[in-house]
Amino acid sequence: MEELDKRREIKKQMIDRLLIWYPEHARDLPWRKDKDPYHIWLSEIMLQQTRVEAVKDYYKRFLAELPDIRHLAEVEEDRLLKLWEGLGYYNRARNLQKAAISIMEDYGGAFPQTYEEIRSLAGIGDYTAGAIGSICFDLPTPAVDGNVLRVYTRIMEDDSNIDKQSTKNAVRDALAEVYQELKGYRDDKAENEYPAGSCGMATQALMEIGATVCVPNGTPKCEECPLSAICGACMHQSWNMYPVRNEKKSRRVEDKTVFVLTCGDKVAVRKRQSKGLLAGLWEFPNVEGHMSKQQAADTAADWQTAPEQMQMNYNYTHIFSHVEWRMTAYYLACRKLAEPFTWVDMDELDQNIAIPSAFKPFVEVLKKEKQN
């Protein structure tokens, strides 16, 4: 019982210290200007698997064209994916739109305000629902991501495997106890000693301390940390032991031959299949395996493009989370606009066609070639 009380006190001190620290140390980020749930939702989805600095411009551009949930629900998918181009994990964008349509149809366009309703929307998991609920509506719903798990397990010197859902649930439940106090829910007669909005501030403070001080890569900045006095890993210099994770699996390596086929001012593209990696996105024609120049020319001829000149070739490796594509691209000038492909000019490619990051370098090489 004594140990339980001690851990409960550490958790409370952790939140209390962060609530004091956060207002003076929070980064100035565009999605922190207000508590509009559309803005918070969009930023949280964009920030999944993506660096903050990379998201800023995307966030501003996206809102400039789709300023509210109605516009998101009504935008054509190709335009939506073009706005998302370069962020990767394109199902995030598709799920955003699915959720926006649900909000328009089921909630009259007003963002739902309970954790259960938020969690039921497409593409929203426990973390995002907790973030929106606490930041926008001051609900006692912690948002537990990698940053929060790292901070918590180091403070508590908790060697539970954070890749297990049971560990995430346990940390969320532990923080929820403190969040209940932030809302004054300890019992029916409790007085709330915290100001309104404390749940949301606690969520953002936990994110911030993990992103900027108790950092994911490298040595934590313990000398700057407001939690160092209560952190077991800091006191015992054991930070490199936490968090505990599964051993990473090696990536699968795949060779690909890419065809950048031009005919006059047109270039050939095609849509990928509706399932699998990069589903439904545009790409340059490509095949599995590595081809020689002659094999590539023969394949382009089989496609009825009438290739007449091999202009150049370019090698590029693109790394996904689980697979590595080693690509050789052949640039071929052709005489025919073969039907298997869609032929577009460079303006349309830039403005309307969403090309995944894996194929973007080939676009840049093509642009330079045309300028010469």
What does the pLDDT look like over 72-96, one tens digit per residue? 999 999 999 999 998 988 999 999 9
- Per the structure, the count of domains in the chain is 2
Q: Tell me the three state secondary structure of residue 82.
A: helix
Residue 137 has pLDDT above 50, yes or no: yes
Does a structural domain hold residue 48?
Answer: yes
* 44 belongs to the catalytic site: yes
Q: Are residues 63 and 153 in the same domain?
A: yes
Does a structural domain hold residue 131?
Answer: yes
Buried/exposed 212-236: b ≥16 CB within 10 Å, e otherwise: bbbeeeeebebeebbbbebbbbbee
Average pLDDT rounded to a whole number, residues 55-84: 96
Q: What is the pLDDT of residue 196?
A: 85
Chain segment 108-120, per-residue pLDDT in tens: 999 999 999 999 9
Q: How far is residue 69 CA from its own chain's centroid? A: 19
Q: Are residues 207 and 336 in the same domain?
A: no
For residue 326, the cross-strand partners are 255, 317
The length of the chain in residues reads: 372
- Count the alpha carbons within 13 Å of 372 in the hemisphere toward its beta carbon: 7
* Residues 367, 346 contacting (CB under 8 angstroms): yes
Does a structural domain hold residue 324?
Answer: yes
Q: What is the pLDDT of residue 191?
A: 55
Residue 2 has pLDDT above 70, yes or no: no
Q: Are residues 291 and 325 in the same domain?
A: yes
Give me the catalytic one of 2, 3, 9, 44: 44
Does a structural domain hold residue 227?
Answer: yes
- The pTM score is 0.89
State the residue range of the domain holding 116. 2-241
How does residue 248 score in pLDDT terms, banded at 50, 70 and 90? Answer: confident
Q: Are residues 198 and 304 in the same domain?
A: no
> Where among 213, 241, 269 does a domain terminate?
241
Residue 187 has pLDDT above 60, yes or no: no
Q: What is the pLDDT of residue 184?
A: 63
* Residues 255, 177 contacting (CB under 8 angstroms): no
Q: What is the pLDDT of residue 185?
A: 52
Does a structural domain hold residue 246?
Answer: no
Chain segment 309-326, per-residue pLDDT in tens: 998 889 999 999 889 999
CATH number of the domain that 306 lies in? 3.90.79.10
Cα distance between the two ends of the chain: 76
Q: Where are the alpha helices (DSSP H) in the chain?
A: 2-25, 37-47, 52-65, 69-74, 77-84, 91-106, 115-119, 126-137, 146-156, 165-182, 198-212, 232-235, 293-302, 346-351, 360-371
Decide which of 238 and 6 is more confident: 238
CATH number of the domain that 103 lies in? 1.10.340.30
Average pLDDT rounded to a whole number, residues 6-26: 93
Chain segment 271-306, per-residue pLDDT in tens: 988 787 888 899 999 999 999 999 999 999 999 999
Average pLDDT rounded to a whole number, residues 228-250: 93
How does residue 192 score in pLDDT terms, banded at 50, 70 and 90? Answer: low
> Where among 222, 241, 260 does a domain terminate?
241
For residue 94, the cross-strand partners are none
Q: Say what percent of the chain tops pLDDT 70.
A: 96
> Where among 241, 272, 297 does a domain terminate?
241
Element (H, E) at 261: strand 252-263
What is the overall mean pLDDT for the chain? Answer: 92
CA angle 96, 98, 104 (to 5 degrees): 100
